[in-house]
């Protein structure tokens, strides 16, 4: 059944990873900003009194990157269980700087044996058409963009990669082979892109990322490329704009984004009542991306239903009951997926 649904969608065939990444950067997200010439870290320890009852202090790290001879700084939070080494960990791109946050049950994550690094996306650059603030101020001359210059998703994804640089700089505190970048909605799209373009991430998790994230565009009954391009053009490169109401001519679809994470692991999470993100299209993208992975996507031959959890392949999928939200049930399933591998 899923094969027939994919045939109806007339998807572009999978290509080698390098070609897929080129198409994605050229046609939808823009090319990732360059790596910094120099990076420095300033650490403020234990910024929240009695955090997690003393099990794990919350530190703030200011990352200062030099690009084109100019500096850009942004903060991240790190919560590291005291006295532990080689920790599996999440880099969570979040909407807000608060720790914990309604999308981030920090203590529960710590109690499951993980460390947690979080960043607030607006500390990197604003979520609007202004390409002159934050990191964008160093990348664009007077805010001017070329057709394949990075959109905001690529700029935020770059920051998650810098948080990973910091984790690596600490030696054996973190286990990089158990690193996972994650986010919800627009930041789920960002997490997939961060992992697609940086092979150091062992896992990626997209929660309800939908259009231009995990969901196939061809055949959607939710948000379309035209909808998203109209409302959020600044998330993408300008080359994407020509595909509004013209999906059939896209030389890619969103299974390319998932496939470009191979041979590593990726979990896609949907919410049963999130029709805008279109769970069935997120699931079908997993099916279409599966051949790029050694252990693909192990699933029944039907569309997903509430509380489906498919963890046997390199691609995992889970559908939670309810609305568009990154809740503790999503985190619990995410943590089980990482532990199961």
Q: Which residues bind ligand GCU (CB under 6 A)?
A: 185-186, 210-211, 223, 228, 276
Best CA proximity match to 140, nearest among 70, 209, 195? 70
Neighbours of 68 (CB within 10 A): 9
Cα–Cα dist 17/260, whole Å: 5
Concatenated DSSP letters of 192-236? HHHHHT-TT-SEEEEES--BTTTB-STT-SS--HHHHHHH-GGGS
Nearest residue (CB) to ligand GCU, 27 versus 223: 223
E strands along 16-167, which residues?
38-44, 58-67, 70-79, 87-94, 115-120
Nearest residue (CB) to ligand GCU, 211 versus 271: 211
- Output the smallest distance, CB 127 to ligand GCU, in A: 9
Could you tell me which residues are beta bridge partners of residue 42?
62
- Output the smallest distance, CB 188 to ligand GCU, in A: 7
Nearest residue (CB) to ligand GCU, 184 versus 264: 184
**Token pair belonging to 160:** 């998650």
Could you tell me which residues are beta bridge partners of residue 320?
271
The helix/strand/coil state of 67 is strand
- Output the smallest distance, CB 32 to ligand GCU, in A: 20
Cα–Cα dist 182/206, whole Å: 6
Catalytic residue set: 185, 324
Cα–Cα dist 196/213, whole Å: 12
Nearest residue (CB) to ligand GCU, 59 versus 253: 253
At a CB cut-off of 8 Å and minimum separation 6, what does 340 contact? 311
**Token pair belonging to 278:** 């279109």
Do 6 and 283 meet the contact criterion of CB atoms below 8 Å apart?
no
The helix/strand/coil state of 181 is strand
Residue appearing with tokens 């309810």: 322
Nearest residue (CB) to ligand GCU, 228 versus 284: 228
Do 285 and 213 meet the contact criterion of CB atoms below 8 Å apart?
no
**Token pair belonging to 207:** 């929660």
Strands 70-79 and 58-67: what pairing? antiparallel
* H or E stretch at 206: strand 203-207
């Amino acid at each position: 059944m899923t094969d027939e649904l994919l045939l109806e969608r007339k998807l572009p065939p999978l290509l080698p990873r390098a070609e897929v990444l080129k198409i994605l950067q050229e046609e939808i997200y823009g090319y990732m900003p360059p790596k910094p010439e120099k990076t420095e870290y300033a650490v403020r320890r234990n910024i929240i009194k009695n955090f997690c009852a003393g099990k794990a202090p919350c530190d703030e790290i200011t990352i200062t990157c030099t690009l084109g001879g100019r500096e850009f700084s942004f903060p991240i939070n790190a919560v590291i269980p005291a006295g532990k080494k080689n920790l599996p960990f999440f880099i969570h791109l979040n909407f807000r700087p608060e720790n914990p946050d309604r999308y981030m049950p920090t203590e529960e994550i710590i109690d499951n044996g993980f460390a947690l690094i979080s960043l607030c996306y607006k500390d990197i650059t604003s979520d609007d058409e202004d390409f002159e603030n934050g990191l964008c101020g160093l990348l664009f001359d007077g805010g001017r963009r070329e057709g394949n210059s990075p959109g905001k998703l690529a700029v935020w994804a770059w920051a998650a990669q810098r948080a990973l640089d910091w984790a690596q700089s600490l030696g054996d505190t973190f286990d990089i082979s158990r690193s996972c970048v994650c986010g919800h909605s627009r930041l789920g799209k960002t997490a997939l892109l961060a992992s697609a373009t940086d092979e150091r991430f062992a896992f990626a998790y997209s929660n309800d990322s939908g259009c231009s994230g995990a969901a196939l565009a061809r055949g959607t009954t939710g948000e379309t490329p035209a909808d998203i391009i109209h409302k959020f053009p600044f998330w993408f490169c300008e080359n994407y704009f020509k595909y509004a109401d013209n999906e059939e001519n896209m030389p890619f679809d969103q299974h390319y984004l998932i496939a470009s994470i191979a041979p590593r692991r990726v979990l896609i999470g949907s919410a049963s009542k999130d029709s805008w993100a279109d769970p069935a299209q997120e699931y079908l993208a997993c099916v279409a991306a599966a051949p790029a992975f050694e252990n693909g996507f192990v699933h029944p031959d039907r569309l997903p239903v509430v509380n489906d959890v498919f963890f046997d392949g390199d691609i995992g999928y889970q559908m939670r009951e309810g609305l568009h939200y990154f809740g503790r049930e999503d985190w619990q399933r995410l943590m089980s997926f990482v532990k199961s591998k």
